[in-house]
Structure 1
Amino acid sequence: MRTDYSYSRVLHVDLETGRSRVLRFGSRAEHLGGSGLAAALYATYGLPEAPALDPRQPLIFAVGPLTGFFPLMSKVVCGFRSPYTGEWAESHAGGRLALSLRFAGYDALMVTGAARGLSALVVGARTVDVHDVSYLRGADVFSAGKYLRRFGKSSSGHRSCIRIGPSGERGVHYACINVDSFRHFGRLGAGAVMGAKNLKGIVVQGDGSFVLPEGNAYAKLMREVYKDITATDKMRKYHDLGTPANLLALNELKALPWNNLQKTSDERIDGVSGETFADKFLLRQTACAGCPVGCIHIGLLRQQFAKDHEFLYKQVSYDYESIFAQGTMLGLTDASDVLALLDETEKLGLDCMSSGVALAWVAEASEKGVLSEKETIVPIRFGEVQGFLEALRHLGMASNEFYRVLGTGTLKAADIYGGADYACVLGQEMAGYATGEVFFVAQAYGFRHSHLDSGGYSWDQSAKDKDAGKAVDFLVDDEYKRILINSMVSCMFARASYGPDRIGECLESVGLADVAANLGTAGKAMQALRWNLKCRTGFDVHAVRIPKRYSEVVTWKGGIDEAYMNDVRRRYEQAILDMAAKAPAISGGEEG
């Protein structure tokens, strides 16, 4: 049983040769874990000059030093070269995978190469097997999960099953990886990376064990953290209505995108509000392994679009971002229509945000006569769910040249077919916060092009003046704090409970005093390394595009101040370059 936690234990599987090895990688006091560990592994084993979908590129799943020791330390960082941008990228997911990796005895799983045929990788504490699953070619996410769960039945309570759908096999650049049915590595195309490796799924059995710290310090701190999370109001929002509680508030603020961001508020919001989902469709709530909150909301969908299955019901997970992307952005005002789209998106293995925003652009381009049914195959109009359902299938299956191009990114399709001014892309298809200048810049330039890179949306809502310098200082500092959390790897919802000081206390309590002592230095170093890798793999801060639509947005504050937004852009560009220039040298790993 492992007792030395000063290094990261990494399982490297090469699908090309079928061989595996265990690496003693680096020093935790330097790379921390999670986000930092994934970046350090790519810095050592990645191929910056090779294309993103080159099978030799590593696909990395990393947990942190506190995974399994404290509540909400329940996420995994997936690191990969994005087929969408070509750049080093991350996507984060919960589910059971984090604890499964911890019980299997690994801090990270790194997969390189491509299997000869469609395969499933099965990993345990003492086993690594690659199975031919050619019979799952073209299978949807749900069918694939049903078959893949046959592996490792003896460890079903600790097992995690991740897999891709048809869109991942077909290389759609925003294909996702489904994690344990209701969670996802959703952004920037991790599913396409798995598809390029001929990897339909990965099953981590979690059939080992790990030792909890002895003594009173850990037990006392564990009780304090648990009480802080469960006996205060910090997490109540996420448990009760969940993130869909944001819909009414943002609609009232005129910050909720509707109809491809042609407007930011609509009086019909009640049809898709969090309250409506809870009152009429909520079936149950569930949680990631190691989390006492239960923020995953599962809706009950009556399959009204299946003529042969009048009484078929399905369970569909929903949250704010999915309701925005496949609801308000498409002009839909019926919660059941949103659930139907999300169910179809899930089966195909598409990222719900990118696919929803892409189809919103298609709807406006069709409305303006830029696109016709020659390209779209089916009529696509705001507010009409049936067209969007059929279009999703064409998108996920790359049915024709138009959908193949659309599957590489909305702005890329707009550059070819027209309508780039209203392509709602900020690095990738936007998140659901039309709050203003700082958020638009933060997502367009951000590391993951995600609203979770930093709190740009909150700065827009709380800042008293338009000071671009202060805004950029906030973005850089807030990103640093989030990198600490993402290196542990905590759920971002718990950031109020896991500040830098608390993280240091937690590390000390599990015997990692050296990691705690170097936390600030290592956090800054990993922030720099991530930006360095992104720049080395093609990110050009001077080439970032913010489409015209974002200058036309009107919020509760009025119109967009383009001069202010451009000032924030220029300052953030320089801050990114400054950080990338400070990247540390990384020590590699050795077998053992």
Structure 2
Amino acid sequence: MKDHISVLQIDLSTQQIIIEKRKDLTVFLGGVGTGIKLLEENMIPEMDPYHERQPIIFSIGPLETIYPAVTKVAALFRSPLTGELGESYAGMRLGMAMRFAGYDAIVISGKAKNPTYLYISNNKIEFKNAESLWGIDTEETGRLIRDIELGTGLRSIVRIGLAGERKIPFAAVNVDTYRHFGRLGLGAIFGSKRLKGIVIHGNGNETIQNKKEFKRMYDEIYSKVVETDHMEKYHGIGTSINIKPLNNMNSLPTRNLQQSNFEYANEISGESFAKEMLFRKMACSGCPIGCIHVAVQRKKFGDPMEYSWSGISYDHELIFAVGSFLGIGNKDDILSLIEIIELLGLDCMSTGVLLGWITEAYQRGLITNEQIGRPIAFGDVEGYQHIIKNIVYGSNDFYKTISRGTNYASEVYGGKEFAAVLGKHEMAGYHTGYGNLLGMTIGARHSHLDNGGYSLDQTTKELDKNKLIDDLIREEIERNIQNCLVICLFSRKIYDLKTVVDALKAIGIEYNTEQLMDLGKEIYKMKVRIKKKMGYDYDTITFPKRFFETETLHGKLNEDIAKELLSMYIQKMDEICGENIDLFSKKETEKKLI
């Protein structure tokens, strides 16, 4: 394997391109490790997230594509939604295309003079005019680029919609139609740089020296993936299988978290979607699972019996966000909202939570008919479609304000006590207990995937405060390791530390479990350091009252206990960040200017 990390640097302002071979970055393995280091090197913490010198970083890991379920790409940036760390992951073909184009990381800075998309391949990088694509939705943009960029090989197309162009702070980046860099506003950063999209076309190859050992290790992991029950639920029903059990345990956020169970949970469950709407399953490149579930939605547009159809991917988080959270119990209605959100290029989870807050704020008289343009109530699909379009087009001052996200909207219009945000980031589809509440609040990117607090709640009968804090930190450190590689977190139980050590060794990379844990801890410390540089203050964290008013798996939560847990976490975090783990070496680089 290579003894360096190949970093492609692209300046949109000057159209300068530099390829660096960074030997010092190999200690970070790849993925979030390489990405967070490059972010720290390139970010300007005192400047606005939209400043043209702020970087976008994409990074893959050494196991990318060549082992089962190692499919993701890490994106690092400064979030326009929270003002601090932006970290997002996506799969489909992007990681494979990057690997076989020969780039372990891509750093994009600057601002194009005109709307632009990038074409990146093994031997050329081109800046292509995207003025004819500006203003076009994500689906049509993808189709037009596919028509332009003909050819064979391993290709991926990422692009933004109107939400990104208009710098909506929770705009997403669409990846090969069915996956997204969905959270924290990467799409808005694309838009601020006038970057409509990126085409990556890789047709290179790499040689594995010890083919026998690699095959043995590959077969072992493949067997665990397809022949055990570790990943069966992801292939079968998919993550939407979570709807019914979460509902049964009082943990499914409903009607802006006024409830934690939904009377129509059975109708919008994964089982119901699979039985009535599912028409295909897809997989990211290099994954045998096929966890991407695509529903077919028919639309009548004329008589007699004239129909069009759309293929719309769904999962637990999307069904929660525009289903239970909005009081919508009809599958077709949920799919129609997912479709408009993704065509416009918004993050579905943040959009759904914002719509929930708007509905309750309207009911309480904090916002008016005149501002919205019509009445709104839970379950009003046409009303939500109206609001979604106006969020993107910014038709009045009200829509320009709420387009900045739920936290900002609640600061302007009131209703912070029932705004379902943690760390300025809209909640995910779980209301399970203290682990979830604290985990999303203090996680590096305020995500349920940072430390799996929602899962810890489901395996805990009685609260052990010290154990919960230790488990949250350990989980975050271990997930940093997995995200260095960049393993799909659905397969996290398969890629335990021993398996990771063996998988790396089979391709010539020597690490032991202690070194991996040191790396995970160093990344944890880097994230805390970067967040503080960006102005995030752990001592100012608060919890909205709504999280203590609604039943969870463990009953209603106590605000004083939550504050105590937060204090304990901060103390433990400060202890870890005070430890000296020096993984840094002198920067060794070879540059190639093209």
| TM-score category (smaller protein) | over 0.9
**Cα–Cα, structure 1 residues 553 and 586, in superposed 2: closer, same or farther, change >3 Å?**
farther
| Residue equivalent to 2:399 | 403
Distance 1:462 1:199, change over 3 A: same
- Residue 209 of structure 2 is matched in structure 1 by 213
**Match of residue 185 from structure 1:** 181
Contact 2:260 2:431 (8 Å CA) reproduced: yes
CA contact (8 A) 2:120 2:201 kept: yes
Matches of 1:563 and 1:543, distance apart in 2: 15
1:267 aligns with 2:263: yes
Q: Is the 8 A contact 1:164 1:200 kept in 2?
A: yes
User: In the alignment, residue 147 of structure 2 is paired with which amino acid?
Assistant: R
Asked whether 1:591 is paired with 2:591, we answer: yes
Residue 444 (str. 1) matches residue 441 (str. 2)? yes
Mark the CA change 1:432 to 1:119 in structure 2 (over 3 Å): closer, same or farther.
same
Matches within 5 A, 1:366-381: 366-381=362-377
What residue identity is the alignment partner of 2:91? G
Please state how far the C-alpha of 1:233 moved relative to its aligned partner.
0.9
Aligned residue number for residue 565 of structure 2? 568
- In the aligned structure 2, how far is the partner of 1:184 from the partner of 1:275? 24
Letter in 2 for 1:262: Q
* Shift in CA distance, 233/456, structure 1 to aligned 2, threshold 3 Å: same
1:404 shift after superposition: 1.8
Query: What are the Cα deviations for residues 153-188 of structure 1, in whole angstroms up to 9, with x where unaligned?
Result: 213x41000000000010100000000000000110
How many matched pairs?
588
8 A contact 2:154–2:201 mirrored in 1 = yes
Q: Secondary structure at the match of 1:336?
A: helix
- Which TM-score applies when normalising by structure 1? 0.96
**Pair 1:345–1:305, CA change in 2 (3 A):** farther
Alpha-carbon distance in structure 1 between the residues aligned to 2:324 and 2:196 = 32
Report deviation, 1:306: 9.6
The range that moved more, 180-189 or 551-560, is 551-560
Using the TM superposition, name which of 395-404 and 511-520 deviates more: 511-520
Would you say the 8 A contact 1:34–1:76 is kept in 2? yes
Name the counterpart of 1:89: 86
Structure-2 separation of matches of 1:470 and 1:497: 24
**Could you tell me which residue of structure 2 aligns to residue 385 of structure 1?**
381
TM-superposition CA deviations, 1:511-534 (whole Å, max 9, x none): 111587732322221221122111
Larger mean CA deviation between 440-449 and 318-327 belongs to: 440-449
Aligned counterparts of 2:549 and 2:301: Cα–Cα separation in 1: 37
Q: Which residue of 1 aligns with 2:144?
A: 147
CA distance in 1, matches of 2:243, 2:575: 37
1:235 matched to 2:231? The reply is yes
Tell me which residue corresponds to 2:535: 538
Aligned mates of 2:511, 2:472 — CA distance in 1? 28
Q: CA deviation at 1:151?
A: 4.5
1:111 offset after TM fit, Å?
A: 0.5
Looking at structure 2, the residues matched to 390 and 336 of structure 1 have their Cα atoms a distance apart, in angstroms, of 17
Q: CA deviation at 1:446?
A: 1.0
Cross-structure match for 1:254: 250
Secondary structure at the aligned position of 1:297 is classed as: strand
Structure 1 residues 64 and 146, CA, compared in 2 at 3 Å: closer, same or farther? same
1:307: Cα distance to partner?
11
Change (3 A) 1:530 1:251: same
2:125 corresponds, among 120, 125, 128, to 128
| Partner of residue 316, structure 1 | 312
SS at structure 1 position matched to 2:100:
helix
Q: Does 2:455 match 1:465?
A: no
Render the CA deviation track for 1:453-476: whole Å, top value 9, x for unaligned.
012112222223222211110000
SS at match of 1:259: coil
Change in Cα spacing, 1:446 to 1:412, as seen in structure 2 (3 Å) is same
1:175 and 1:306 map into 2 onto residues whose CA distance is 33
1:16-95 → structure 2 map (5 Å cutoff): 16-95=13-92
Distance 1:475 1:366, change over 3 A: same
Partner of 2:547: helix, strand, or coil?
helix
After superposition, the Cα gap between the structure-2 partners of 1:566 and 1:309, relative to the gap in structure 1 and judged at 3 Å, is farther
* 1:306-325 alpha-carbon deviations (Å, 9 max, x no partner): 99995121000000000000
Deviations 1:274-297 (A, max 9, x none): 111111110100010110000000
Native 8 Å contact 1:300 1:313 kept in 2: yes
Match of 2:7 among 2, 10, 14: 10
Aligned to 1:280: 276
In the TM superposition, residue 424 of structure 1 has moved relative to its aligned partner by: 0.5
Query: 1:267, CA displacement in angstroms?
Result: 2.4
Which letter does structure 2 place at the counterpart of 1:332? I
**8 A contact 2:497–2:513 mirrored in 1:** no
Q: Secondary structure at the match of 2:132?
A: helix
- Taking structure 2 as the reference length, what is the TM-score of the superposition? 0.96
Q: Does structure 1 residue 360 correspond to structure 2 residue 356? A: yes
Counterpart residue number, 1:113:
110
Amino acid at match of 2:232: R
Q: In structure 2, what residue type is equivalent to 1:437?
A: Y
Residue number in structure 2 paired with 1:552: 549
CA distance in 2, matches of 1:581, 1:151: 53
Larger displacement relative to structure 2 (558-567 or 62-71): 558-567
Contact kept, 8 Å, 1:39 with 1:79, in 2: the verdict is: yes
Aligned counterparts of 1:47 and 1:126: Cα–Cα separation in 2: 31
**Consecutive unaligned residues in structure 2, runs of 5 or more:** none
**Deviation larger for 418-427 or 41-50:** 41-50
1:291 is matched with: 287
* Aligned mates of 1:31, 1:586 — CA distance in 2: 11
Contact 1:504 1:516 in 2 (8 A): yes
1:528 to 525, 549, 553: 525
Equivalent-residue separation in structure 2 for 1:263 and 1:516 (angstroms)? 43
| RMSD (Å), alpha carbons | 1.8
Letter in 2 for 1:591: K
Shift of 1:214: 3.0
Contact 1:170 1:398 in 2 (8 A): no
